[in-house]
Amino acid sequence: MGSIRKFTPLKQRPNGWHRPKHAALATLCLVGVAPAFADDAVLPAVAVNATNTLDTAPLSTPTGAGSRLGLSGLDTPASVETVTAKQIAARGDRSVTDAVTRATGFTSDGAPGNGGTALTVRGFSGQESVMTLYDGTRLYPGAGTMTFPFDTWSVERIDVLRGPASVLYGEGAIGGVVNVVPKRPQRDYATTLQLGVGTEGQKRVAFDTTGALGPMLSYRFYISDNRSNGWVDRGYSHTTALGGALKLDVSPRLSFTLDYDYGRQLPATYLGTPLSNGSLDPSLRYRNYNVGNPLIEYLDQSTRLSTVYRATSGITIHDQLYYLTTNRHYRDSETYSLDPSTRDVTRSDYIEIIHHERQIGNRLDAAIDGSAWGHANRLVVGTEANQITFRRDSNTPFDGSSVVNADNFNPGVFDSPDPTAPEFHTRTRQVALFAEDRFDLTSRLSAVGGIRYDHINFSRDQLATSVTFGETLSNVGWRLGLVYQLSPSMSVYGQYTRGADSVGSVISLSQAQTAFSLATGQQLEAGLKQELPGGRGFWTLAVYQIVKKNLLTPDPLNPAVQEQVGQQSSRGIEWSGTLRLGYGFSIEANAALLRARFDNFDETENGVAVSRDGNVPSNIPQQTANLWLTYSPNASIVVGSGVRYVGRRYGDNANTAPIPSYTVFDASAQWQVARHVNLALYLRNLTNRVYAVTSETPSEWLLGPARSAEIVATMSY
């Protein structure tokens, strides 16, 4: 019996396990750069599973989030998952966050202060601990904020990896990573126009087109514009995303792709709802206590030049040069406190903050297929370098306050006693060397390992005081895993991973934070994966333990001084699966059970160090689950309904501010009216459940959207 998986997508193999010896080239010869191996060249390989009628990607699909080796989910010794464009469209998820939080174990920790995109998974949260990539490229978060990507219209798929990913992407990503893969230029002409309206004044226009421009050139262009009056008072929002790509196929061995993406967001200027004695007053659900002239605006741009050169049979070189920019502006009052006896709301933290960030970088790697000691072997080696500049202007120390009636009030205007002025400027230089390898020990057993060295040089200038300081950080992350093929469609795996996390956003560290090294983490994980016969579905099971050390914690004898001795851990079990039930029914489901704890961690409270040992980190749910049921009585009608469950959390590390669990029901219906016209109805939060997405402070919740409906017409040619 021959070797089972040789680094390529599964071909349809009804009577055998073998593959062509050099089929790996179909996976590797891609337009893009590692780690986002999977792009337009992979799509035909995904389609070979002709019996799979589900919209989900099968486990035999190559995924770029879990490895640079172009491995499928079955071949990867880690928890990887793919959310496809079809799934996103079926559920009507407009934002990347909405789409990702239907994946196993992911929940939103988004708030305006972090760009609305922060996530939690496996007991960790925030832009550093749960990393987001676009086309395999990381925009470093400044001051804990990330605002791109945000729109799903241009998305081909979203690959996620649960567990530490420092070996792939550098410091950070102790909890996991999300890689948003955009649609690629195609030579076949296709154009899609989408129009939508909704109950909250939603207006949607989206356009996408692709095709050939001669024998060597192909293109893609898209634009998406969404507006809404929102579900709270003065909740207007407006987002625009546009971009495109040109692909030049010089020869079968050499190709170039130039991508450009632009995003402008004016999100709703709703910052949260104050609590009444620790619980929500339902009468305040639709109130917006921000000032009358607030501003939140994000402008992001991404330009990437990708090169693929197939040097010889078995060697493929990828290079990506990228330039990323972001500009953000906040002006509002962000903290609200309710006095239940007087019904007065005290508004404080009159904040104006402006971000300017520029990142230029390059990633180069070579994928080498061959053999060692008579065994199949695949090796990827490469390097990456970045230079990031970040500047923040602000009106620190953010004084100013006002008092308004909770029920009837004039929002007033932004009035801060502190002038807005340049605050600080930073420069960060990062260089990395990385390697990954897969070696077939036997026809069924393979070893997958990786290592990455990162060197970071950081400097910061305090513009008001001319104080300059800096720090040099380095880390070696590595991973080793084994995958054993129990059958052609079933594998069991185990892995050990070491990674690192910064004690703050690495490009905006404070002077106190530069005195410390990176926090370190390690994970043990084991799991089982299986594709069901006949393309009927698949299921996965994973158990894990993560320990993160070197957290900052106050010295119990001198709480004004911090020590890097803290520890946090999480352990859990995750299950996911899809199944085509027959008679037009299919089901997708996942669940995650988690035990996250501080093992050694203190906080300063009224000048005294107080232990949080045994407590749950704030905004971390212990249970999550998702379910989506689809019924298609015929080829022109598809009806879907789904449930999202997020367990109880705490709004503080002291665990004195509980946040109730919630369950949200959604539904959709699609009707293929004619060959080129599709009508869809999306119903969100059917029961109009009141729930908190996250807790801004122990006395303030950021609530989730109320019930809404949207009708969308899609015309494809």
Can you read off the two tokens belonging to residue 586? 């299919």
pLDDT at 625 over 60: yes
**Residue-level pLDDT at 64:** 78
Query: Where residue 557 falls among pLDDT bands split at 50, 70, 90?
Result: low
User: For the residues 378-405, what does the mean pLDDT come to?
Assistant: 96
**Residue-level pLDDT at 384:** 97
The distance of Cα 197 from the centroid of its chain, to the nearest Å, equals: 27
**Residue-level pLDDT at 29:** 32
Computed over every residue of the chain, the mean pLDDT equals: 90
**Residue-level pLDDT at 37:** 35
Which residues 6+ apart lie within 8 Å of 446 measured at CB?
5, 75, 438, 439, 440, 482, 483
pLDDT at 8 over 70: no
pLDDT digits (tens, 9 = 90+) for 488-542: 999 999 999 999 988 889 999 999 899 899 999 999 999 999 999 988 999 999 9
- pTM of structure: 0.90
CA distances from 424 to 115, 295, 391, 465 (A): 20, 22, 6, 9
Which residues 6+ apart lie within 8 Å of 502 measured at CB?
128, 171, 172, 473, 509, 518, 519
Under CATH, domain 25-716 is a member of which superfamily? TonB-dependent receptor, beta-barrel domain (2.40.170.20)
**Residue-level pLDDT at 54:** 61
Q: Which residues pair with 218 in a beta bridge?
A: 212, 247
Q: CA 8, 28, 223, 208: dihedral to nearest 10 degrees? A: -60
DSSP state of 643: E
Terminal-residue alpha carbon distance, the chain: 47
Other CB atoms within a 10 A radius of the CB of residue 649 amount to 25
Query: Where residue 66 falls among pLDDT bands split at 50, 70, 90?
Result: confident
Query: Where residue 2 falls among pLDDT bands split at 50, 70, 90?
Result: very low
User: For the residues 26-30, what does the mean pLDDT come to?
Assistant: 31
pLDDT at 22 over 80: no
**Residue-level pLDDT at 663:** 97
Q: Kindly report the length of the chain.
A: 717
Percentage of the chain modeled with pLDDT above 90: 81
User: For the residues 464-475, what does the mean pLDDT come to?
Assistant: 94
Query: Where residue 30 falls among pLDDT bands split at 50, 70, 90?
Result: very low
Counting DSSP H helices and E strands in the chain, the numbers are 5, 38
Residue 446 dihedral angles phi and psi, to the nearest 5°: -130, 150
Q: Which residues pair with 696 in a beta bridge?
A: none
**Residue-level pLDDT at 57:** 76
pLDDT at 16 over 50: no
Closest listed residue to residue 181, CA positions, set 32, 53, 55: 32
CA distance 446 to 440: 4
Could you check whether the bond before residue 397 is cis, i.e. omega within 30 degrees of 0? yes
pLDDT digits (tens, 9 = 90+) for 80-119: 999 999 999 999 999 999 999 999 999 999 999 899 999 9
The residues spanned by each domain of the chain are 25-716
pLDDT digits (tens, 9 = 90+) for 316-356: 999 999 999 999 999 999 999 999 999 999 999 999 999 99
pLDDT digits (tens, 9 = 90+) for 569-621: 999 999 999 999 999 999 999 999 999 999 999 988 888 889 999 999 999 99
In terms of DSSP bridges, do strands 176-182 and 130-134 run parallel, antiparallel, or are they unpaired? parallel
Place of tokens 């084994």: 482
**Residue-level pLDDT at 237:** 97
**Residue-level pLDDT at 439:** 96
CA distance 503 to 424: 19
Q: CA 111, 116, 119, 120: dihedral to nearest 10 degrees? A: 10
**Residue-level pLDDT at 554:** 78
**Residue-level pLDDT at 639:** 97
